[in-house]
Amino acid sequence: MAPNDVRPSTESAPMATLVTQASPGQPDRSLKIIAKSLFKELKANGYDSRHIVSLSTELISLVTSDLRGEDASASSPGL
């Protein structure tokens, strides 16, 4: 199956379920579980390491943009 033809695996819980079941009291542990589950899901659906690195790069870019937005709001009081 090609990466463009993604179908959810029936072997694991949907990602939304994993995210909502994450324990707010243990965020580091929860995030590791979510990351491992996402990795397994991507591999099971035909994505290779190059695709997973590309996804990771995009996530880092989104976080960086979000942090820049927070920095801009903190330096502009009254907005």
For residue range 52-67, list pLDDT tens digits in order.
Answer: 999 999 999 999 999 9
**Residue (of 8, 1, 3) closest to 50 by Cα position:** 3
- Does 8 reside within a domain? no
Residue 19 lies in a domain: no
Residue 23 domain-assigned (yes or no)? no
At 6-16, the pLDDT tens digits run: 444 445 566 66
Taking the complete model, does pTM exceed 0.75, yes or no?
no
> Which of these, 18, 59, 61, lies nearest to 41 by C-alpha position?
18
Residue 61 inside a domain? The answer is yes
24 is a domain residue:
no
- The pLDDT value recorded for residue 13 is 61
Query: Which of 44 and 10 is assigned the larger pLDDT?
Result: 44
Its domain, for residue 53, covers: 30-75
In a domain, 49, yes or no: yes
- When divided into structural domains, the chain yields a total of 1
